[in-house]
């Protein structure tokens, strides 16, 4: 075994913090099981780390990108979505926004981006705007609010789903602005919304910070517009048609 290989193995053991093994390094060096042992430990820790991050991300169940029907939306920039999946925007700590009507796949695409980030070692968190802002507003002290803001500010990728489905008070607008400001240039945020940015004043009526909020969110952001009819409505119609065909097939033929 060369000196460079020995140094590499020792460095790997050190990164794994296998202090007992390192204490007996001269005794185990050259053993044929040393390399495989380190590899097994690295693979197991990688697996457990991914499982922990997936649980913490709270993604829930979602349709994988391989099953996404790209031909259903009348407008969806597939190349831009695939570019997001490469996670360069996460490295650059920039943002992404999916804009479109209900049911066109905005949440599905955002969830797939988050899952891709998890696979590549990043931390991520998925939440709806209503849940997150309600959680922040419920903080009963400045210290509690700082902790909750820190929780949402800390992931490398934060997905805020369903901005625009409800209207919020100025207090909620201020909280979202504070969070976006904390993450601005420090971590990536993905937002899904059914409202054009010009209509966000309807989401946060009378809030003075809306213009600044949108400005910080979209600066250096990839904005992907999706158009089309609701995929959920399409699936509901297909299920109804399938049930109707089954009922018709099970009915006995009428005798003439």
CA distance between the termini of the chain: 89
Is the CB of residue 100 less than 8 Å from the CB of residue 225?
Answer: yes
Query: How far is residue 253's CA from residue 256's CA, in Å, rounded to a whole number?
Result: 9
Is the CB of residue 152 less than 8 Å from the CB of residue 125?
Answer: yes
pLDDT of residue 255: 60
pLDDT of residue 33: 92
pTM exceeding the 0.75 threshold for the entire prediction: yes
Q: Considering 24, 39, 56, which residue would you say is the last residue of a domain?
A: 56
| Average of per-residue pLDDT values in the chain | 91
Query: How far is residue 204's CA from residue 164's CA, in Å, rounded to a whole number?
Result: 9
Is residue 243 one of the residues assigned to a domain? Answer: no
Query: Binning pLDDT at 50, 70 and 90, where does residue 205 land?
Result: very high
For residue 75, the 8-state DSSP code is B
Is residue 24 one of the residues assigned to a domain? Answer: yes
For residue 99, the cross-strand partners are: 193, 225
Q: What is the pLDDT of residues 165-194, one digit of tens each?
A: 999 999 999 999 999 999 999 999 999 999
- Containing domain of residue 93, as a range? 65-233
The closest of 157, 161, 65 to 120, measured between CA atoms, is: 157
210 with 114, same domain: the answer is: yes
Is residue 238 one of the residues assigned to a domain? Answer: no
Q: Considering 16, 38, 56, which residue would you say is the last residue of a domain?
A: 56
Is residue 247 one of the residues assigned to a domain? Answer: no
Number of domains the chain contains = 2
Is residue 241 one of the residues assigned to a domain? Answer: no
Q: What is the pLDDT of residues 11-59, one digit of tens each?
A: 999 999 999 999 999 999 888 999 999 998 888 888 888 888 899 999 9
79 with 99, same domain: the answer is: yes
109 with 24, same domain: the answer is: no
The sign of the dihedral angle between the CA atoms of 154, 159, 161, 164 is: positive
74 with 194, same domain: the answer is: yes
14 with 136, same domain: the answer is: no
49 with 83, same domain: the answer is: no
80 with 199, same domain: the answer is: yes
Please write down the long-range contacts of 148-153, taking CB distance under 8 Å and 24 or more positions apart.
149/178, 149/179, 149/182, 152/125, 152/127, 152/179, 153/179, 153/182, 153/183, 153/186, 153/187
pLDDT of residue 212: 95
110 with 24, same domain: the answer is: no
Is residue 126 one of the residues assigned to a domain? Answer: yes
């Amino acid at each position: 075994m060369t000196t460079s290989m020995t140094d590499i193995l020792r460095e790997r053991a050190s990164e794994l913090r296998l202090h007992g093994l390192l204490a007996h390094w001269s005794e185990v060096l050259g053993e044929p099981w040393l390399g495989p042992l380190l590899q097994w430990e690295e693979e197991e820790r990688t697996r457990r780390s991914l499982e922990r991050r997936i649980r913490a991300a709270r993604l829930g169940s979602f349709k994988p990108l391989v099953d996404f029907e790209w031909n259903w939306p009348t407008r969806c920039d597939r190349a831009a979505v695939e570019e997001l999946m490469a996670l360069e925007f996460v490295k650059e700590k920039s943002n992404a926004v999916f804009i479109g009507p209900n049911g066109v796949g905005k949440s599905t695409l955002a969830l797939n981006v988050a899952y891709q980030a998890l696979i590549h070692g990043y931390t991520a968190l998925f939440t709806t705007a209503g849940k997150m802002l309600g959680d922040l507003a419920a903080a009963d002290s400045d210290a509690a609010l700082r902790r909750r803001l820190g929780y949402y500010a800390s992931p490398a990728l934060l997905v805020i789903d369903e901005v625009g489905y409800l209207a919020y008070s100025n207090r909620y607008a201020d909280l979202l602005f504070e969070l976006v400001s904390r993450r601005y240039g420090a971590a990536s945020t993905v937002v899904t919304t059914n409202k054009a940015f010009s209509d966000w004043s309807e989401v946060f009526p009378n809030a003075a910070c809306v213009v600044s909020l949108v400005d910080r969110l979209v600066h250096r952001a990839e904005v992907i517009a999706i158009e089309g009819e609701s995929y959920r409505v399409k699936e509901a119609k297909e299920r109804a048609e399938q049930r109707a065909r089954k009922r018709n097939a099970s009915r006995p033929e009428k005798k003439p």
